[in-house]
Amino acid sequence: MQELEVAGQGSVRVSRKDNDVVVIEKDLTTEEMLLSMGPQHPSTHGVLKLECMTDGEVVTSAEPYLGYLHRCFEKHCEMVDYPGIVPYTDRMDYLAGMNNEWAYCIAVEKLLDIEIPRRVEFIRVIVSELNRIASHLVAIGTYAIDLGAFTPFLFCFRDREHILSLLEWASGSRMLYNYIWIGGLSFDVPADFPKRLKEFVDYFRPKAVELYRLLTENEIFVKRTKGIGIMPADVAINYGWSGPMLRGSGVQWDLRRNDPYSVYPELDFKVPVPDGKFSVVGDCLSRHLVRALEMEESLNIIEQCISKMPGSEGFDARAAVPKRVRPKAGEVYGRAENPRGELGFYIQSDGKSTKPLRCKARSSCFVNLSAMKDLSKGQLIPDLVAIIGSIDIVLGEVDR
């Protein structure tokens, strides 16, 4: 016993647990090292710098540095008129341009108080749900590649290409669409669009299941993500998390359901939340599962839209588009459910100008990323990569 006490003063920790079990820990504390991850690190999904203090392989703190992609979105907004901002919103979250445009248009339309034609609403739902699938495919594909699984990435991009062709056919461009306009759309969808869309849904349904199984039945992938980066629900809400991140923590919250806009109240879809059987609620795997399951719900929504959408006879996509957008004086906070969470626009109008007095974009990944410092404490460096990947950031939106 004496030997143990002597050892306890040195670099060996001795503690006595219940029922006389003595635990001896060798103290291997090494000097802390500053490790800069990024801005060019591939696993940061863009230009994000993480300054990590590491103790061996353990991260004691990680401080994110942003702004490498800052393009003064909000300053630009004060210089161009309301419709001119739409193309800028595309360039924020460039993986989900349609959703961004729509969130912005929702905010302006609230101030304008205009009636949107029903067919326009359905087309908006279709294109943004397509974009949501495309965005989730990138999120899942790159997440898999971060964790060393290469094949799902190729599958994801093959199927995403299909969606991009559809969106290109409708809008004329592959990623930066400028398709959803204030009060309408730039063009109606092509005549055969619903038919091709149906073909895509039929094609993608089994692929989504295949993709789901490819990762969730992958032992390595599950081991790398299960129980890593756990975020309890109340802390997630306090951090302002939204979208798949918040649902991954077990909160059934979806703006399409809880603050419904457009025609979503007429559509039947589930809001997937992890039940804790397969993953630990709030961990990286839960967030991945939510995204994977959401793609199937988006397919359901698209299918319903195809059958419910009014016909194109006598339809003018620009019928309700105002010639000159000059909203009444006031303020508005408009928001929509993006693939990454709640994208909101706070707009201030003075009632005289055709330019907003102030336009602030509430970026979902900016808010989700702000929890990084707390999430990374005490994690291993490879797990840090798993956590960043599960947050699914797009730096174009974080930095705006």
Partner 1 sequence: MSEMQEGRTLPQSVQESAAAYGIIREAFGSAVSDFDANETMPFFEVLETERWQEIALFMRDHPKLRFNYMACLSGVDYPAEEKLGIVCNLESLGEFGHRIAVKVKCARDGGSIPTAAYVWHTANWHEREAYDMFGMQFAGHPDLRRILCPEDWEGYPLRKDYAVQESYHGIKVPY
Residues near partner 1 (CB under 8 A) are 66-67, 70, 72, 74-75, 78, 110-111, 234-235, 237-240, 251-253, 258, 330-333, 335, 342, 344, 346, 348, 358, 360, 362, 366-367, 370-371, 399-400
Of 216, 213, 236, whose CA–CA distance to 224 is shortest?
A: 216
> Is 259 in contact with 208 (CB distance < 8 Å)?
no
The three-class DSSP label of residue 5 is helix
Q: Which is nearer to partner 1, 161 or 331 (CB)?
A: 331
Q: How far is the CB of 72 from partner 1 (least distance, A)?
A: 6
> Toward partner 1, which CB reaches closer, 310 or 351?
351
Nearer to partner 1, 97 or 334 (CB): 334
Residue where the block lists tokens 């969470």: 341
Please identify, using beta-carbon distances, which residue of 66 and 299 lies nearer to partner 1. 66
- Only one residue has tokens 């943004």, namely 128
Closest among 93, 45, 82 to 363, alpha carbons compared = 93
Q: Is the dihedral of CA 366, 368, 373, 378 positive or negative?
A: negative
Fill in the amino acid letter for 324: R
CB of 143 to partner 1, least distance (A): 23
Nearest distance from C-beta of residue 242 to partner 1, angstroms: 8
Contact 211, 155 (CB under 8 A): yes
We find the least distance from the C-beta atom of residue 36 to partner 1, in angstroms, to be 16
CB of 167 to partner 1, least distance (A): 28
Q: How far apart are CA 75 and CA 85, in angstroms?
A: 11
Residue 117 or residue 356: which is nearer to partner 1 going by CB?
A: 356
Give whichever of 245 and 302 is closer to partner 1, judged by the CB atom. Answer: 245
Nearer to partner 1, 251 or 388 (CB): 251
User: Do the Cβ atoms of 367 and 45 come closer than 8 Å?
Assistant: no
Q: Which of 239, 226, 205 lies closest to 373, judged by CA?
A: 239
State which residue, 61 or 354, has the beta carbon closest to partner 1: 61
Residue 273 CB, nearest approach to partner 1 (Å)? 12
Question: Of 111 and 208, which CB lies nearer to partner 1 in the complex structure?
Answer: 111
Tokens of 107: 């905010």
Among candidates 39, 80, 35, which has minimal Cα distance to 54? 35
Give how far Cα 338 sits from Cα of 10, 57, 96, 212, Å: 55, 35, 8, 21
Please tell me the distance from the alpha carbon of residue 246 to that of residue 315, in angstroms, as a whole number: 39
How many C-beta neighbours within 10 Å does residue 57 have? 10
Assigned token pair, 320: 């309700």
Q: What angle do CA 41, 42, 47 make, to 5 degrees?
A: 60
Among 306, 243, 308, 295, smallest CA distance to 269 is for 295
Q: How far is the CB of 68 from partner 1 (least distance, A)?
A: 10
Report, in Å, the least distance between residue 376 CB and partner 1: 15
How far apart are alpha carbons 216 and 285 in whole angstroms?
A: 9
| For partner 1, the closer CB: 264 or 366 | 366
- Report in angstroms how near the CB of residue 369 gets to partner 1 at its nearest: 8
- For 392, left (φ over 0), alpha (ψ -120 to 50), or beta? left
The least distance separating partner 1 from the CB of residue 141, rounded to whole angstroms, comes to: 28
Rounded Cα gap, residues 121 and 334, in angstroms:
16
